[in-house]
Amino acid sequence: MRPSRVLFPLLMAFALTVAACDRGGGSDRPPEPGDRAVAKIQDETIWASDVKREAVAQGLVGEGEPLDVTSDLFRRVLDEVIDQKLLAHEAERRGLDNSPLAQRRLAATRERILGDMLVETVVNDKISDKAVEGIYQGQLNLARTSEEVRTRLILSRTRAEADAVVGILGQGAAFEAVAMERSIDDATRFSGGDLGYSTLDVMPEAYRNALRDRPAGSTVGPFQTEGGWAVLRVEDRRRETPPTMEQARPQIVRYLTYEGVRQLLEELRGKAAVEVLLGGEGAPSQEPASAAVPPAAAPAQPTASPAPVSAPVPAKAR
């Protein structure tokens, strides 16, 4: 038995949607130019584009990536599409699609699909190479004024333990060796306390203040953090190395998509009479037109660097 058959309770809503959208199937006219018929269920044709759309929905291929009809992946997804349609047809035969619950779920799924199509049509078409380039250049100018610091960390539970660490280092012990022996931060101790390169603006305040003007070769601390008492060594300071355009593009595109969705929703909410019935004591309240974009549609906004580096703080120090 194919593994896909185990997943069908989770796919029933989608299957019913497919059935509802494909009523009256059996047309031999390709839905897209150059499309290819790859299977038939009774009088209903399954096209290569149907399989590709399902593969994209599952995250198996990207929107613009090809999917070879002779590949094992295509055949596996084709089997799943066939199974979905068989289940949907049987659900219709039993009249399950006529229940109020089914109608509400089908309507909700239809709304999600139409919303996605609107975003693709209105928002994605506005994400041009010129727009991406403009944001990249702005972020690049900021990155050129930033400095990266490479540090090592020894984290202690108490001030007395941290003072002892400073004494050992003062006697000439290697920072890496002391970190492996005494640091309580499991995330960095086995790499000699190495935190890598990061900019000061992404560090917690205690680290930022301690490192602000300290040159390479300095030992800093001890100072208190949320996770304990920290002793740092400044290994190197350098100008921040900005990412290339291709490295930065995915995050910039996500940001532009978010901004486009936010603006579109703000415009739509401004035109619509939206009433949220969750006010105090059951009284209706008007929702502001500038309500936030739903979390699923809100990717992270670029920071001062198009590809920000995670804060160089071990788990126990956060």
Q: Report the chain's C-alpha Rg in angstroms.
A: 28
Strands 147-156 and 194-199: antiparallel
Look up the pTM and report it: 0.45
Please provide residue 254's backbone torsions phi and psi, each rounded to the nearest 5 degrees. Answer: -60, -40
Over the stretch 58-75, which tens digit does the pLDDT of each residue have?
888 887 788 888 999 999
Over the stretch 78-118, which tens digit does the pLDDT of each residue have?
999 999 989 988 998 999 889 899 899 989 989 988 988 88
**81, burial (CB in 10 Å: exposed 0-12, middle 13-18, buried 19+):** buried
Q: Which of 38-42, 107-111, 200-204, 211-215 has the lowest mean pLDDT?
A: 200-204
Over the stretch 171-210, which tens digit does the pLDDT of each residue have?
889 999 999 988 998 888 898 888 888 877 778 888 888 8
Distance CA 237, CA 107 (A): 57
Q: Residue 61: helix, strand or coil by DSSP? A: coil
Read off the pLDDT band of 240 (50, 70, 90).
low
Res 14: pLDDT: 43
For residues 147 and 33, the model is more confident at 33
Peptide bond preceding 9 in cis form (omega within 30 of 0)? no
pLDDT at residue 21 above 90? Answer: no
Distance CA 123, CA 260 (A): 5
Percentage of residues in the chain having pLDDT higher than 90: 15
